[in-house]
A and B are shown apart, each in its own frame.
Chain A
């Protein structure tokens, strides 16, 4: 027979054994002691935090024959019967495979019968979110006023799928995730009880991968223990979880920081050759980038759960990171997870992202451009009205490099062995135009913090417009008629307005105050706004653009394209130079 899984064998049998969730245990304990047990409980929380365990403990306590303070004792017949799953008065139902109203009716019928042994009859309905609407509704009356001997315990991970009418009839307990420390400590205890030892860092590594779920952590430990040798080494944990050593992530980070595409690609390939999980690797990269950014922003290193070595390695990289670039990377890489999940060729999305990070960003602030594929799909871009449709892809940076091979001494980067005939080094990497973000940074007018403030403002501008609309449509119309965010300095938000009229409008408190409030709320800091007059020409250029668009619409090619793609002209650009 199979050995029972650890998470089943070490399911807590008394409240004292239970790990964490003190807020719930205490409440239940007092309720039991004072005899104030409610007739319906709802346990919610993420997976593996103890919902089913506490439900069974409560059932046990209600049938236990020991003194009130010691319940559940775990010793008496009633307790043992519940633990073995043979207690007649504790009915556990799997709502996910018994979803129908018939199943609910069966419960209702059986609730009427008195308990056979104890004084309570406990119904545990697990995965309750899967009950059908009819089943939920059938339960309503019974759940509101059950007979005195009945106690319902509902448990679910997805409380948002449970109707409000059910929620309001239950005492609701929300279970918390376990912290890494708590998990690690419990792992050590369990391992010791099983006659195993865990090497330094192994328990913490498992705990981190478990993301707060004790069952996940115990499953991993189970698997490691079934593999044998004690003590369980960190390397074994990594092999099982596919997590990469910090050094591997570090190699890629260094490649990114040095703008060295070959080194970065080689780092990814090394991970793949090792048979590591690329998705996990990308997640760790995001983790490290986040830590790096926080350190760069001056965060206290102790709040990051890092080992000493890791912190030292990061600290040494911090000065090389530019805040704006780090932010862009973080955004880029955190979107990867989904792509890596569906990509049949594991590392390709990561490689593409790394190259995108190193190549010059094609447009201005990353926040401003639509990145989600769905959005891209919904708006077939026809920005080049007036030119041929088959123009080079818009994301391509202008070919800045001359076609002639660069002189061999020119590149200052370290030499990378090239084993295939390449013909020339990477022109775009050698002589890439520095990204606009970096330009802002270099002229030292705005420091990092202000820049992130602006990136935030630019990204949330649509949200601000929306919020303003809720307050007053006139205000929104005002903002839409030529007001653009320009900069964030200290706590002043500078808006560029298109006309003198708007400038005077912004001096009125009736206009100024609500806008300030909304911007403050969205940015999360109190700020004042300052309107400055933009160049008058912007208005003229808008008119000129409209003129051009009108002309473009008469062009037969454009007309055809508009018809085929059911598109709109959103902008006009001069035809790109053909090289």
Chain B
């Protein structure tokens, strides 16, 4: 890791800030990294831990024993917790269904904080999924987070800050990571050998989520599946009602099976497609997500009334909220299908 970006794409200001703080020995005792999923939060947390514990002059070197052990998650002075750690020992589907980060996980983690470093000068405590902390878990963290022992550095990683208690947020130095500009992802992908056209497309589809773009780059099958999913969603607009209802039923079943992430992603995809149509209607086509479908979006833009598109987008947003609030999924999806915008 010879560059001064720590091998991270985007977020230059955040890296600069942390690097500078480390160099001048003014790093805080607690950091809160937050932002949308797959944007690079966990990677930054990992690099921060490496930078603290790495012995090399240009820390983190990424090569020494400390750095590699941290990357593999078996350094004794780096302790992480989160839903994944909490779910160890559970059955796979039970682990997937966990909702809260419980107080027991927090207590174990805090108890560990009292122990001096085993090897280096510092100990790093990383908590993933901090937005899932339940009420008692979050409260149990407060005093420790305010005044931890001098050798400890706490890093909270959260998808959003809104779900965290303000009393927690105010005790941390917050790095609010934002979606990475499209051009940056584009350039980064190209520099790893992705063809320019492909890179541009991936960058546009990613919506600023670097991790997502890299994942799709490495997994062409998933990428292909996504594109087919979009085809299906676009076709859904013209299918007869019974076919739409079948689609709704399939999604509802998937939701009940616990595949929440997949179903939400699909809804989001649909939402982004209609956003593209809306952008085409408003003459802002260059900001489209699905750049490869510009022609289709432009055609749809002439077929649908802008009010209808807007209303359907609102409905899709509401559907997200309804699913979160445990409304019967079948009704939600059928409602969506029955209210598809109709071409005029």
Contact = CB atoms under 8 A, between A and B. Distances in A.
A227 interface: yes
A97 B315 contact: no
A1 B121 contact: yes
Contact of A219 (B143, B150, B170): B170
Secondary structure of the A contact surface, majority rule: loop
A355 B310 contact: yes
Contacts of B308: 392-393, 396
B90 to A, nearest CB: 24
A422 interface: yes
B324 interface: yes
Nearest to B183: A273
B256 interface: no
A505 to B, nearest CB: 42
B193 interface: no
B201 interface: no
B339 A390 contact: yes
A399 interface: yes
B298 A429 contact: no
Nearest to B178: A275
Q: Most chain-A Cβ atoms within 10 A of its Cβ — which of B140, B268, B344?
A: B140
B338 A389 contact: yes
A3 B25 contact: yes
A390 B338 contact: yes
A435 B298 CA distance: 28
A545 interface: no
Contact of B179 (A46, A239, A339, A346): A346
A28 B327 CA distance: 53
B176 interface: yes
A386 B24 CA distance: 73
Interface in B122-136: 122, 136
A579 B281 contact: no
B20 A227 contact: yes
Contacts of A96: 136, 139-143
A396 B307 contact: yes
Contacts, number: 257
Interface residues of B, number: 98
B295 to A, nearest CB: 8
Contacts of A397: 307
A338 to B, nearest CB: 8
Contacts of A216: 169-170
Given A219-B171, A342-B160, A377-B322, 13 more contacts: A2-B150, A3-B28, A99-B136, A223-B174, A227-B16, A344-B36, A348-B313, A359-B310, A380-B331, A399-B307, A420-B298, A426-B281, A427-B305
In the A-B complex, the 9 residue pairs with the smallest Cβ-Cβ separation, listed nearest first, are A420-B285, A226-B21, A96-B139, A94-B143, A341-B162, A226-B26, A395-B311, A393-B311, A423-B302
15 contacts: A2-B150, A48-B170, A127-B142, A213-B170, A223-B17, A226-B21, A265-B282, A342-B160, A351-B278, A352-B313, A362-B307, A377-B321, A395-B314, A396-B308, A426-B281
Interface of B: 13, 16-17, 20-21, 24-30, 36-37, 107, 110, 121-122, 136, 139-144, 146-147, 150-151, 153, 160, 162-163, 166-167, 169-174, 176, 178-182, 207-208, 241, 264, 268, 271-272, 275, 278-288, 294-295, 297-299, 301-302, 305-308, 310-315, 317-318, 320-322, 324-325, 327, 331, 335, 338-339, 341-342, 344
Interface of A: 1-5, 8, 46-48, 52, 94, 96-97, 99, 126-127, 129-130, 157, 213, 215-216, 219, 222-223, 225-228, 239-242, 261-262, 265-266, 269, 272-273, 275-277, 279, 337-339, 341-346, 348-349, 351-352, 355-356, 359-360, 362, 373-374, 376-377, 380, 389-390, 392-397, 399, 403, 416-429, 565, 578-579
